[in-house]
Structure 1
Amino acid sequence: MSQLHVVCPHCHTTNRVHADDLGQAPDCGSCHQALFTGAPTNVTATEFERHIARSQLPVLVDFWAPWCGPCRMMAPAFEQAAARLEPRVQLVKLNTDEAQGVGARLNIRSIPTLALFIGGREVARQAGAMGAPDIVRWTEAQLSRTGATA
């Protein structure tokens, strides 16, 4: 039975979880809250780096800003997608106004932008607002293309 590193959406501690237990509502060993909430996690630049570098699950990131109309329109769809993609994929939201350095380093030119990270590397990117079924379909297609299994 293999173990995966999963970053807690609450305290951002890295946890070891048996792959077979992902669907069994595992809790964080540090804060004892659920590792999978069925909702995206808002992260700071530091927390973003931790999730990308330490999680062995694919991480889908929504780069957004509060002033962006399409970002606000896509927010409920991203929430719905989280409920469908977890625990195979962790979903996080990064406010590019608050984390301008990350946006610049990753060359985020328009928002909303979705980026899929696997093993600390960006493997796919999609700009523009999408509905929940499209987010799920796009993410699953990228996971299939890269051979990622979670």
Structure 2
Amino acid sequence: MELLVDGVPAAEVYEEPEILDDWPMHHVKDLKNRMVVGACWQGSQGKMTQHFKGYLSALTLSPFKQENPSVVQCLLQCKERLEFFGLNKLKVGEEAVFNRDMTELTLKARNAIDFSQMLSKVSYVNSRPNPTVGDRFARIIATSRCLTSSGELAN
């Protein structure tokens, strides 16, 4: 059994993910085992405990097989992405380049004002039918390089 959180193995997301399996909730001969998501069965208490608190926007089960990682990536990453609404208005010397998953965008402008205008045309898109509730954080890394008096880039 492997638990993925937003396409990343839970062990990389959480310090000590707790995945409990292979322990039947009951020992009735003709009753099949059940899978529970979001709580733990405490046999000594005869009830569910440690309930999940939060939002679960999607759950994908692949009984008796492990899904291909590329399928899992597509299920998760195809829904959240960045968009740039200024491609048709780029000036000479400006660039807007996405990574393959459209989750990172590199902008290149001739000056800070043009960069600011380009940045204002970047948008976050989540096309999931039931998006995960919560804030989305963006990291912006800016580097500026100046021209020398002879017109060359200074280091």
TM category (shorter chain) comes to under 0.3
Q: Structure 1 length normalisation: TM-score?
A: 0.22
Question: Bigger radius of gyration, 1 or 2?
Answer: 2
Q: Which has the higher contact order (CA 8 A, sep 6+)?
A: 1
Larger fraction in strand: 1
Q: Give the TM-score of the pair, scaled to structure 2.
A: 0.22
